[in-house]
Structure 1
Amino acid sequence: MATAARLRRIAVYVDEPEKGWFAWVLIEQQEGFYEWTELDAADEWLGSYQEAMAAGLMALQALTEDLKIGPRARSAPPPAPKPPAGPFGFGSVLP
């Protein structure tokens, strides 16, 4: 059975760029756990915190293929196999 890719640590927060206007932002925690990077943000401001949060959650759901297991990291392709070193993989043939 294949191992599931790790769950991505994505957060939604709402900013207030101007009084009374709200915008959602998606951020993702990086491997070091102390650094967050912005994934996406609202193109337009909304008139309430509630609307902005709901729109941000919809954006998060759009990143998620299967809502039952959450957003998963894409698996890296397996490394290319190394060419054999010699017979049986032990190097050169003995005389």
Structure 2
Amino acid sequence: MTHLRRIALHVDEPDPGHFYWVLMEEGDDASQWLELESADEPTEMWIDAFQAGTAALLGYVPDERIGPRTADDDEDASPVG
């Protein structure tokens, strides 16, 4: 069975009034987060960046019933090593 990916969305404001959405995914351990994707252009409002980031996150979800799943797991493999 594939595992649910741990993807987080946050909004960054590197300059006042310039908001960028950023998607991060948990790395090999819980203390490591890697940037997946981010906005190319800023928005003027935090909520607009957040909504655009949410739309980008949904792009990683092929089935809304189960959320974003890992692609590298073999669904036919035994769950025990």
Which category of TM-score, normalised to the shorter sequence, fits these structures? Answer: 0.7 to 0.9
Verify: 1:67 aligned to 2:64, yes or no.
Answer: yes
TM-score (normalizing by structure 2): 0.86
Q: Percent identity?
A: 41
Alignment of 1:25-64 (within 5 A): 25-64=22-61
- Give the superposed CA RMSD: 1.5
Q: C-alpha distance in 2, partners of 1:29/1:77?
A: 20
Structure 2 runs not aligned, ≥5 long:
76-81
Verify: 1:19 aligned to 2:21, yes or no.
Answer: no
Task: Give runs of ≥4 in structure 1 deviating > 6 Å.
Answer: none
Higher relative contact order (CA 8 A, sep 6+): 2
What number of residue pairs does the alignment pair up?
75
Give the deviation of 1:77 after TM superposition: 5.3
